[in-house]
Copies of this chain bind each other. A is one copy, B any other.
Amino acid sequence: MNLDNSGLHHLIATKLDEVGQMYTQKRRELVDALSQAGPCTLPELLEFSDGIAQSSAYRNLTVLEEMGVVRRLVHHGEYGRWELSEELTGHHHHHLVCHSCDVVIDVELPTHIEHLMDEAFETAALGSKFTVDRHNIDIVGTCVDCQETAQA
């Protein structure tokens, strides 16, 4: 639970400094929460962080998104979710999404599969003359907790 995020924080601090933005305690807390808990909704972030206002959380997430520090996910739950950007963590990944409770968990796929997919996506995009930048994959199903709840 007590991860060393000093490298991460230093990277972000430099990034924000370049455009005259401050890396405040509140922003640090948001990053720590995302770093520890993975993709979070706003209410989850408010619990993790210590007394940050809702409006400040939204504004800071927007700023951090513009800086490429976090990325906003959008699924079917009532709240959006936020995660640290792959650019920052260096880990390309995808998501297990529970269609019962909307929880989101990171997964990585073998690199040879990623290569095959990238090729297939490029080919598929050709027909519509699309330029491909990236891909998002949601593996949708039921998480352990919801499987157990359904059984009981």
State the interface size on chain A (CB cutoff 8 A).
39
B-side contacts of A117, CB under 8 Å: 113, 117
Which one of B72, B74, B75, B141 contacts A133 once the chains associate, using CB atoms below 8 Å? B141
Q: Which chain A residues in 69-114 approach chain B with CB under 8 Å?
A: 72, 74-76, 94, 96, 98-99, 105, 107-110, 113
A positions within 8 Å CB-CB of B: 72, 74-76, 94, 96, 98-99, 105, 107-110, 113, 116-117, 120-121, 124-125, 127-144, 147
B-side contacts of A125, CB under 8 Å: 96, 107, 139, 141
Q: Which residue of B lies closest to A94 (CB)?
A: B124
**Shortest CB distance A130–B (Å):** 5
Q: Is the pair A141, B132 in contact by a Cβ cutoff of 8 Å?
A: yes
